[in-house]
Amino acid sequence: TYWPPVDRQGMPGFPKVLEAIYQAWRTNRQNVRQTASQVLGYLSASAGGAPAGGELTGKIADEAVRRLSAQFDPEWGGFGRAPKFPQASVLEFLLRHCRRTDDERPLEMLAVTLDRMAEGGIYDHLGGGFARYSVDDEWLVPHFEKMLYDNAQLMSVYLDAWRLTGREGYRRVVEETADWTLREMRSPEGGFYAALDADSEGVEGKFCVWTAGEIDALLDPEEADLVKLHYGVTESGNFEGQSILHVDRPLTGLAESSGESVTALAERLDRARGKLLTAREGRVRPGTDTKIIVSWNGLTIGALASAGAALGRSDLVDAARIAATLIVDEGIRENGGLARTLTAGQAGGDGMLEDHAFLADGLIALYAATAEHRWLEHAHKLARIIVERFAHTDGPGFFDTGAGHEQLIIRPRELQDGAIPCGNSVAIDVLLSLAHLREDERYSRYVDATLSSLATPMTEHPTAFGRFLAVLERTLADQRQLVLAGGTETAELSAAFMTRYEPFVTLAHAMDGDEGEGWPTLGNRPIPSGLSAAAFLCQGMTCLPPVTSPSALLGHLDAALR
């Protein structure tokens, strides 16, 4: 966890924590030893066999939604009280539940949460991207640290929300967050850095906040007035005498009161934002954690690839491809497993379950976006390593460390999703995708066994099992595969599909000859005579007649899936 250097916002400073540890060891050593022994016993028990399994039905998801509704903040969104974290895994579950059912409650919770976060101070209204969490219920005052993993996940959530609803505000958040990722988090080699600090010049948030006087000095009067009204910048401020930018008065309301069009105000606001961003770049910047963490890069590769394909942004797909190439070329050990980090070109540490699972998930998304089969093959190699080196021998699920990892007090096995999903939930999501593409029942059994063992906790504590619940939604839905045949000629068909939110359809690309060995779903697909590309919507090995145009494909999907 994070300890500030001095006491802050109810958290003790790290020196105080160290002093308390020292005093406890000096004055109460026997109790410390006894507590440590009890904790070790608990950890050993929790890492042992599987809990009792349960039947996997839609009732689990329905009850999870009901419990989330009870925790939901109807005014400001999110679940529970401050401090508020984005909880991207829970939002992804709600998105999939919306798509599978006719339940309107998840969409309402999603809309309020995504709107309020995008309007709040947790979102960077000049440079894009989200801070780690909000210290208040209103998403106004963030802990200003920006994490790569948060932004990768939220990029994916807002992208899927745009695909589902068509709301342009969500698309804007995706593009701005993607642009921030490429502009500020990308290493010269093409990997992505871990985080930006909260502090600059020893003061948290100094890089991001503004005074009314600074706004007036940098902008012309009309621009300054608009920025102050729209973003709630006042003389007194909302954070230690300065202002955190947040949407205080929407442009629609300002247009009504001023008599100007929303378009004219938006253009003026964009000009002003550009000037402020340029001025902000002249400030002392927060520090950057330049580690390239493989798992977090896996999240980012998947988010950028999917966003680029859906939005027609080839630069985002290219960035995902370059990052994937870097990790595959430099982050794979001699035994085929992954390193944990890349720093200054040096691989460090043994890759954990999450590194293998997150990267495999990202590579599957990159494969879907590019039709480059090498990424699918790399993902499958990682999946085999997960099964061979991380699988629990006495129960379902996977350990966090591989079989050859250095010996720890216990071999850890995380089975709850937090700020990032746990390795287990992403691993079974990957295995489910590969099970459908390879017709491999062994992978499906890992998925079912792991979910079954968590049936009760998923129901009772949904905020801790968001990604597991999202995988459950896939098992409850009628899974299909969309196989595109025709090589590069399939680009229009692929682009049409990628604009749709279809979490229960796995996009794949047909393989010719020996290339398709082991991928029965992707074997040779005959294209109708006289045409260069076709799309086959399949369920298992049974496929509907092919369609050859984007409009026909979308009609095909509507008829089959709705």
CATH of the domain at 390: 1.50.10.10
Q: 374-386 pLDDT, tens per residue? A: 999 999 999 999 9
Whether the Cβ atoms of residue 162 and residue 307 lie closer than 8 Å to each other: no
Q: Which of 304, 327, 328, 326 minimizes the C-alpha distance to 317?
A: 304
Pair (404, 315) in one structural domain: yes
Structural domain contains residue 52? no
Integer CA distances (angstroms), 306 to 280, 425, 491, in order: 30, 20, 14
The confidence score (pLDDT) of residue 341 equals 97
Q: 81-105 pLDDT, tens per residue? A: 999 999 999 999 999 999 999 899 9
Q: Where are the alpha helices (DSSP H) in 282-393?
A: 294-311, 314-330, 353-370, 373-385
Structure tokens at 124: 């960077």
Q: Which helix (H) or strand (E) holds 443?
A: helix 441-453
- For residue 51, pLDDT over 60 is answered with no
- For residue 39, pLDDT over 90 is answered with no
Query: Looking at per-residue confidence, does 466 or 49 come out higher?
Result: 466
Q: 325-344 pLDDT, tens per residue? A: 999 999 999 888 999 999 88
Residue that finishes a domain, picked among 282, 297, 327: 282
Q: Which helix (H) or strand (E) holds 456?
A: helix 455-460
Query: Which amino acid is residue 204, in one-letter code?
Result: E
Q: Which helix (H) or strand (E) holds 143?
A: strand 142-143
Q: From CA 430, how far away is CA 300, in angstroms rounded?
A: 16
**Average pLDDT of 10-20?**
90
Structure tokens at 52: 């009792």
Q: What is the CATH number of the domain that holds 233?
A: 1.10.10
Residue 123, exposed/middle/buried by CB under 10 A (0-12, 13-18, 19+)?
buried
**Average pLDDT of 207-219?**
98
Structural domain contains residue 42? no
- For residue 538, pLDDT over 70 is answered with yes
Q: Which residues, other chains included, contact 528 with Cβ-Cβ below 8 Å and sequence gap of 6+?
A: 534, 546, 548
Residue that finishes a domain, picked among 450, 476, 502: 476
Integer CA distances (angstroms), 352 to 102, 337, 450, 453, in order: 38, 9, 18, 22
Residue 286 CB neighbours (<10 A): 21
Pair (429, 503) in one structural domain: no
Strands 292-293 and 339-343: antiparallel
Q: Which residues, other chains included, contact 294 with Cβ-Cβ below 8 Å and sequence gap of 6+?
A: 327, 331, 338, 339, 340, 341, 342, 351, 355, 358, 359
Q: Which of 46, 31, 27, 59 minimizes the C-alpha distance to 412?
A: 46
| Total domain count, the chain | 4
- For residue 153, pLDDT over 90 is answered with yes
Pair (278, 305) in one structural domain: no
Query: Looking at per-residue confidence, does 299 or 517 come out higher?
Result: 299
Structure tokens at 356: 């293998």
Pair (295, 440) in one structural domain: yes
- For residue 355, pLDDT over 60 is answered with yes
Structural domain contains residue 244? yes
Query: Looking at per-residue confidence, does 458 or 525 come out higher?
Result: 458
The confidence score (pLDDT) of residue 167 equals 97
Give residue 80's pLDDT band: very low, low, confident or very high (50, 70, 90): very high
Pair (333, 189) in one structural domain: yes
Query: Looking at per-residue confidence, does 455 or 513 come out higher?
Result: 455
Q: From CA 294, how far away is CA 357, in angstroms rounded?
A: 10
Structure tokens at 404: 């050859």
**Average pLDDT of 413-436?**
97
Structural domain contains residue 121? yes
Q: From CA 195, how far away is CA 379, in angstroms rounded?
A: 26
Query: Looking at per-residue confidence, does 345 or 131 come out higher?
Result: 131
Q: 307-329 pLDDT, tens per residue? A: 999 999 999 999 999 999 999 99
Q: Which residues, other chains included, contact 343 with Cβ-Cβ below 8 Å and sequence gap of 6+?
A: 290, 291, 292
Whether the Cβ atoms of residue 395 and residue 63 lie closer than 8 Å to each other: no
Q: Give 8-41 as a 3 state SS string.
A: ECCECCHHHHHHHHHHHHHHCHHHHHHHHHHHHH
The confidence score (pLDDT) of residue 541 equals 78
Pair (444, 358) in one structural domain: yes
Angle, in degrees to the nearest 10, between helices 58-71 and 88-100:
130
Residue that finishes a domain, picked among 282, 308, 333: 282
The confidence score (pLDDT) of residue 489 equals 85
Residue with tokens 């007649």: 545
Look up the domain containing 137 and give its range: 58-202+289-476
The confidence score (pLDDT) of residue 527 equals 84
Give residue 235's pLDDT band: very low, low, confident or very high (50, 70, 90): very high
Give residue 120's pLDDT band: very low, low, confident or very high (50, 70, 90): very high
- For residue 427, pLDDT over 90 is answered with yes
Give, as one character, the DSSP assignment of residue 510: -
Query: Looking at per-residue confidence, does 394 or 505 come out higher?
Result: 505
Structural domain contains residue 40? no
The confidence score (pLDDT) of residue 317 equals 99
Q: From CA 529, how far away is CA 483, in angstroms rounded?
A: 18
Q: 176-199 pLDDT, tens per residue? A: 999 999 999 999 999 999 999 999
The confidence score (pLDDT) of residue 345 equals 78
The confidence score (pLDDT) of residue 47 equals 57
| pTM greater than 0.75 | yes
Q: From CA 70, how far away is CA 82, in angstroms rounded?
A: 16
Structural domain contains residue 368? yes
Residue 31 CB neighbours (<10 A): 10
Pair (326, 184) in one structural domain: yes
Q: 164-174 pLDDT, tens per residue? A: 999 999 999 99
Q: Which of 436, 442, 316, 469 minimizes the C-alpha distance to 387?
A: 442
The confidence score (pLDDT) of residue 44 equals 59
- For residue 523, pLDDT over 90 is answered with no
Whether the Cβ atoms of residue 459 and residue 65 lie closer than 8 Å to each other: no
Integer CA distances (angstroms), 545 to 106, 449, 477, 523, in order: 34, 35, 22, 16
**Average pLDDT of 226-247?**
97
Percent of the chain with pLDDT over 70: 96
Give, as one character, the DSSP assignment of residue 350: E
- For residue 521, pLDDT over 90 is answered with no
The confidence score (pLDDT) of residue 463 equals 98
- For residue 514, pLDDT over 80 is answered with no
**Average pLDDT of 361-385?**
97
Pair (182, 324) in one structural domain: yes
The confidence score (pLDDT) of residue 143 equals 95
Structure tokens at 312: 């027609």
Q: 473-503 pLDDT, tens per residue? A: 999 999 999 999 997 889 999 999 999 999 9
Pair (252, 315) in one structural domain: no
Pair (69, 163) in one structural domain: yes
Pair (445, 500) in one structural domain: no
Structural domain contains residue 53? no
- For residue 61, pLDDT over 90 is answered with yes
Strands 505-509 and 480-485: parallel
Q: What is the CATH number of the domain that holds 503?
A: 3.40.30
CA 381 to chain centre: 23
Q: Which of 232, 197, 226, 181 minimizes the C-alpha distance to 211?
A: 232
Structural domain contains residue 382? yes
The confidence score (pLDDT) of residue 439 equals 84
- The residues with which 505 forms a beta bridge, in sequence order, are 480
DSSP 475-509: HHS--EEEEEESGGGGHHHHHHHHTS--TTEEEEE
Pair (268, 301) in one structural domain: no
